[in-house]
Amino acid sequence: MLDPDIAALIGQPAEMPPLTPELIPMMRANMAMMAAAMPGTDIDHVEDFDADGVPARLYRPASDEPLPLLVFLHGGGWMFGDLDTHDAMTRHLTAASGCAVLGVGYRLAPEHKFPAGLDDAMTALDWARRSAARLGCDPARIALGGESAGGNLTAAVTLRLRDEGKPQPLFQLLIHPATDMSFALPSFAEVAAPGLSKTYLDACREYYLGDTPESDPLASPLHAASHAGLAPAIVLTASEDPLRDDGEYYAAALVRSGVETLACRLPGLPHGFQFLPITIAAVAAANDLIGGLVRRYFACR
């Protein structure tokens, strides 16, 4: 059941029209307008960087010591969002965790199809590892995380790093990730969310993947033959989210492969809850929980 304060804010979501290429610029502009009205948290140091060709933005709290660094990939159906639209979200995460956060402006579909966004995520993580010391961060404490499409990219990066014989991040933070591009797990029939319908997500898949099969493990991490050897995972799902089972099935797959995994379903929250105003108590509580988990995982590793 949706949190009452959230339900009062968003009302009854309307069924979205078919997602055509002509609608994408309008939807991007609408997201930018909504984001501009979202208040952020003051952070001591915020600076934009070119991470080997990928736009990145560092949020660093005041500290005399090198801070742990979370490289964070925003959501938006692989087609929406950038450093500015998710600025408030990233500021809140930085404040709640007390660590440095590097937002990544990866390339978007349909202009840049799979694996462009994944390539950018890999590039940004590699740049962060090489640049950590001059950013005032600890090179030994770098984690990777993301929400929704960013969670999908996070899971794909860990699979690709493993298969390429490269080091894993310290841990992976997956916030209501998409892990199965079939969009056919049971929660799709159990949770009604017209704004996140299967029709809409099927269009996202088409524009993002192009000719790539949906079963490709780097597109659908749940379909990987093995999940062994991946970074410890924090997997957070939202109870009122059609993608809920994507995260929970993936958490179970990680556990079966021997990956240390903390999985938690957050009650009363919809998909994309981090994009809602932090003034809503349930959103603030979820943000504090996420920040606290990130802080504790950094502290104990």
Helix axes 87-97, 281-299, angle to 10 degrees: 50
Please state whether beta strands 54-60 and 45-51 pair in parallel, antiparallel, or not at all (unpaired). antiparallel
What is the spatial distance between Cα 173 and Cα 72, in angstroms, rounded to a whole number? Answer: 9
Q: Which residues pair with 264 in a beta bridge?
A: 236
- Amino acid identity, position 229: G
In this structure, which amino acid lies at residue 265? R
Concatenating the DSSP letter of every residue in 5-40 gives HHHHHH-SPPPPPP--GGGHHHHHHHHHHHHHTS--
Sheet holding 233-240, edge to edge: 45-51, 54-60, 100-104, 67-73, 137-147, 172-175, 233-240, 261-270
Report the C-alpha gap between 75 and 135 in whole angstroms: 24
Q: Give me the active site residues, please.
A: 148, 241, 271
Give the Cα separation of 89 and 167 in Å (integer). 28
- Do 131 and 150 meet the contact criterion of CB atoms below 8 Å apart? no
* Ramachandran area for residue 212 (φ above 0: left; ψ -120 to 50: alpha; else beta): beta
Amino acid code (one letter) for 138 = D
Distance separating alpha carbons of residues 130 and 121, to the nearest angstrom = 14
| H or E, element range at 188 | helix 187-190
